[in-house]
Amino acid sequence: MNKVFLVIFLGLILVTSFSGCTENKVSAAEEINTSSSLIYSADLRVESAISDMDEGSYTSAKNNLKAARVDYEEALKILNNASSDYEEETKDIERDVIFAEAGLDAVSYSENLILATEHLDKFVAHLDSEDIDLSRKELDKASEALNNSIVYLGSAKEKIFSIDLDSVPVEQKSYVTVQREDLETSEKMSLELRQMINGLYPFLDGSEHLFKAGEYLETEEWDKAADEIADSSVKLSESKESLETLKDSDYSEISVGVIEICGILTQLEKDLPHLEAGCRYMEKGRYSQAEAEFSKVSDYY
């Protein structure tokens, strides 16, 4: 009888022990829900920042990106301190960490892209005032910021594409797919923007030669003016060759500006030979022939 009671007693202990283990399993459901909400909020802020950038509202875009960074960082703090005894929750934590880290990369990418755009705006302003040195400095800064943005973009892309789509819950598959498509689109646009900036360097060089030619024209140093115009033609042709392929870009942010620049370059391509020839004739005192060449220069500008 005592043996029976002993067996029952041991059985009760085992049942109680295993029941306790089941009840004490650690869940991270609350942490996952909170971090997911923060990531969702941050994603919306990044989208708002992109809209602000498209509208030229850089200050608003920067503010949205700062707020997004805070949300992503807070989500990461929660996730890095979260643990779960449930396999699915552990996978959710790992996946959300990737989303948050990729989100931070996307914020850095966008911040640098804004910086590049601001420097490009300043480049144009300085070029309009014929300040070549400041124009070149701004173009260099734009190029540097864009290169930095492409690095962050590549990092975000690597993280998102590391996720096995087959292992993603059905309700998140579209999210991952859209993230991948957006990153690939951004990468293509950024590479085209870099091509555009590279094409602006010979444009800047050509403009510098033209400005010098203008100074020589004012002092009637015709031969020097003609030489500067000839050098300008070479550089501007180089710029046009580099930029022309971007006229058919899928992104209006690229194509519209390039079409305008190429329109100017095409007209200069027609006019500069006449302007150079006119200067050569003036240097030789052949004024009627010079006048004939100058009259062929359009008033496009």
pLDDT of residue 1: 43
**CA-CA distance, 138 to 151, in Å (whole number)?**
20
**CA dihedral sign of residues 5, 9, 11, 15:** positive
Q: List, run by run, the mean pLDDT of 10-residue segments along the chain (301 residues).
A: 42 44 74 95 96 92 98 97 90 96 98 97 97 98 98 98 93 95 96 97 98 97 98 98 96 93 96 98 97 92 64
Q: Give me the residue label for tokens 């498209």.
A: 54
pLDDT of residue 23: 58
pLDDT of residue 27: 87
* Phi, psi of 84, deg, nearest 5: -150, 150
**CA-CA distance, 166 to 35, in Å (whole number)?**
23
Q: Where are the domains of the chain?
A: 32-163, 195-301
Those residues with Cβ within 8 angstroms of residue 294's Cβ, 6 or more apart along the chain or in another chain: 274, 275, 278
Tell me the CA distances in angstroms from 288 to 227, 294, 297, one per residue in order: 21, 10, 15
Grouping H, G, I as helix, E, B as strand and the rest as coil, residue 22 is helix
